[in-house]
Amino acid sequence: MPRLRPFDIRPGRGDPDGEMAPPLSHTIEIRVRFGETDPYGVAYFAAILDYFKRGMDEFLRSRGLSPDLAYRNPKRNYGFPVVATACRYRAPVRFDDLLMLRTRVVRVEGSGATFGFSLFRTEAGKDILAAEGRISCRSIDASWTPIPLPAEFINILSAR
């Protein structure tokens, strides 16, 4: 498989792509569910990645794209699997907390796109950053060979 440039998440630097135009973003609410905690009552770290995926689904839907078709379109011999994830956990969130998840596009290039996520909980009227991370996906054909991102998908990810 060709290489994607590695991404790292630099704490405290803000969005590394922040110098450019402000990124597209979409925000949803997430409720921490009973089955998503670890034995100590804190949301399981792998569940946080699952929240990010939901944010990505809803971001795509907000741009007019069905998540199902975005991730695989057998008729077009096309898939868009996750190839990399990264997450930093800043503060614990617990069963039944109501969270705010902001999803944005941080990079679109060649065959890949990277989404960025910031998860907040609210305490005493202040938003506390609970986790931040990224998910990178790549366009592939039916043999899992990378292919350029479809033009209309680039438009959907970039248009304002």
Are 135 and 114 a contacting pair, CB within 8 Å? Answer: yes
Closer residue to a second copy, CB minimum distance, 8 or 19: 8
The least distance separating a second copy from the CB of residue 85, rounded to whole angstroms, comes to 5
Are 115 and 134 a contacting pair, CB within 8 Å? Answer: yes
Closer residue to a second copy, CB minimum distance, 105 or 137: 137
The least distance separating a second copy from the CB of residue 36, rounded to whole angstroms, comes to 8
Query: How far is residue 29's CA from residue 22's CA, in Å, rounded to a whole number?
Result: 22
Beta pairing, strands 72-73 & 78-79: antiparallel
The least distance separating a second copy from the CB of residue 160, rounded to whole angstroms, comes to 25
Query: How far is residue 67's CA from residue 156's CA, in Å, rounded to a whole number?
Result: 12
The contact set with a second copy (CB under 8 A) reads: 1, 3-4, 6-12, 31, 33-35, 37-42, 44-47, 49-50, 53-54, 57, 66-68, 71-72, 79, 81-92, 94-96, 135, 144
